[in-house]
Amino acid sequence: MEFRAGQRATWTKTITEADVYAFAGITGDFNPLHVDAEFARHSRFGERIAHGILTAGLISAVLGMRLPGPGGIFLNLALKFLKPVKFGDTITAEAEVVSYRSDKRILTLKTACRNQRGEMVVEGESVLLVDPLPKE
């Protein structure tokens, strides 16, 4: 498969309370900012927020399912967390090809997540090794 600079894809999901609790259970990260409404009410955010890495997981979804799609594997992931994601926020993960080294099959993409208001909540860069899938 060939890739070209500017090629783009997105993945959208609304973050639910169930998502946050499932993520906490899977990872063991029960930080009360995420799971304790009373604790979070007294925080700088005033309410519970989603784990940053849960939000960044949507970048993994757009890369694994859309661009480059199945067969890509992370070599590097750099992220900046810019704004909190609240329960009920609809997040769109975006990926845009920056460069592709066909000799090494290394794909570099600009990645970001935006909320339903278009505010960037996560930005970063992903580098993937892209191997062709075996033929069935």
Is the confidence at residue 113, as pLDDT, over 80?
yes
Is the confidence at residue 136, as pLDDT, over 70?
no
| Mean pLDDT on 104-125 | 97
Q: Examine residue 33 and state whether it is found in any structural domain, yes or no.
A: yes
| Mean pLDDT on 19-33 | 97
Q: Examine residue 3 and state whether it is found in any structural domain, yes or no.
A: no
Q: Examine residue 26 and state whether it is found in any structural domain, yes or no.
A: yes
Q: HEC string of 85-121?
A: CECCCEEEEEEEEEEEECCCCEEEEEEEEECCCCCEE
Number of structural domains the chain divides into = 1
Q: Examine residue 111 and state whether it is found in any structural domain, yes or no.
A: yes
Report the mean per-residue pLDDT for the chain.
95
User: Where residue 2 falls among pLDDT bands split at 50, 70, 90?
Assistant: confident
User: Where residue 80 falls among pLDDT bands split at 50, 70, 90?
Assistant: very high
d(CA 57, CA 92): 11
Q: Examine residue 60 and state whether it is found in any structural domain, yes or no.
A: yes
Is the confidence at residue 30, as pLDDT, over 90?
yes
Residue 83 has a pLDDT of: 97
Q: Examine residue 135 and state whether it is found in any structural domain, yes or no.
A: no
d(CA 72, CA 65): 9
Looking up residue 50, the CATH number of its domain turns out to be: 3.10.129.10
Q: Examine residue 1 and state whether it is found in any structural domain, yes or no.
A: no
Is the confidence at residue 130, as pLDDT, over 70?
yes
pTM tops 0.85, yes or no: yes
Domain that holds residue 84: 8-130
| Mean pLDDT on 45-53 | 97
Q: Examine residue 136 and state whether it is found in any structural domain, yes or no.
A: no
